[in-house]
Structure 1
Amino acid sequence: MWYSYISIGHDGENAVLARVTTDAASPWFAGHFPEDPILPGIAQINMVTETIARVLKKNLSLQSVARIKFKKLVRPGDILDIHAMAGKKENHYSFSITSMEEDVCSGRLVLAPKKEQ
């Protein structure tokens, strides 16, 4: 895996919480960009999706995104805090990623159960 969990869980209500660190050897960094590595936005959204699925113990995939805002670059080894809150509709989540209390990324996700093949 290209990131590691430092902690992961939920708050007993509707929130998913995790602290992760990114692996400098990740192919995401090698391809984006070799001389100035940053974590692409799609990788951040994928990390949130996988974290929600893991905490909820569901096989979920990303269906759609809305109101995504990227505010800070993520570098190899950065520690990120993920906070995702269930919305009023099933499988709808609002989320934020922060690093050292600075906003990194936020938005809304709609997840769907993965179809069996």
Structure 2
Amino acid sequence: MGFTTKRTMWYELGDLERTGDSGLRAVAFVPADSPWFDGHFPGRPVLPGIAQLGMVLALISKATGTALFIRQVGRVRFKRVIPPGSHLTLYAEAKPGKAGQYLFRIEKGSDLVCSGNMTVAGKN
């Protein structure tokens, strides 16, 4: 397995891996100079929640080869702060029989930093 990254907007998303029947995995890196950290928060920068959800959406879009948008999120839990320069692992698993619905989680090392449900739909 090779690892290549593409700087997507303000983070780098690694190669997509498929896990099990409906699972997705990719490594992401948020550089210290990412604009996401500008002003969020002065003196103690952290990755905003919307950025975390956007990375999960990018993972699912990459897997489906379709431009998607977030229709709904639920049960989202932000458990830990993500500082600048973080390496993350993104996971998403399609819910069986539920088109466009995914369970997701983001880990930093062995720590769970974010999890929830996401429903996506294609852009018209």
Q: TM-score range by the shorter chain?
A: over 0.9
Alpha-carbon distance in 2 for matches of 1:66, 1:112 = 15
**Equivalent of 2:72, from 64, 73, 96?**
64
In structure 2, the residue matched to 1:19 is 27
Superposition deviation, residue 12 in structure 1: 5.4
Question: Which aligned segments of 4 or more residues in structure 1 are displaced greater than 3 angstroms?
Answer: none
Aligned-residue sequence identity (percent) comes to 38
In structure 2, the residue matched to 1:36 is 44
In structure 1, the residue matched to 2:107 is 98
Amino acid at match of 2:33: A
Count of equivalent residues: 115
In structure 2, the residue matched to 1:4 is 12
Deviation digits for residues 27-51 of structure 1 (CA, Å, limit 9, x no counterpart): 2101201311100111100110011
Alpha-carbon distance in 2 for matches of 1:26, 1:13 = 34
**Equivalent of 2:119, from 100, 110, 115?**
110
Alpha-carbon distance in 2 for matches of 1:12, 1:85 = 9
Q: Which runs of 5+ in 2 are unaligned?
A: 1-8
Superposition deviation, residue 5 in structure 1: 2.2
Deviation digits for residues 32-74 of structure 1 (CA, Å, limit 9, x no counterpart): 0131110011110011001110122111110000000010100
TM-score under structure 2 normalisation? 0.87
Alpha-carbon distance in 2 for matches of 1:46, 1:31 = 19
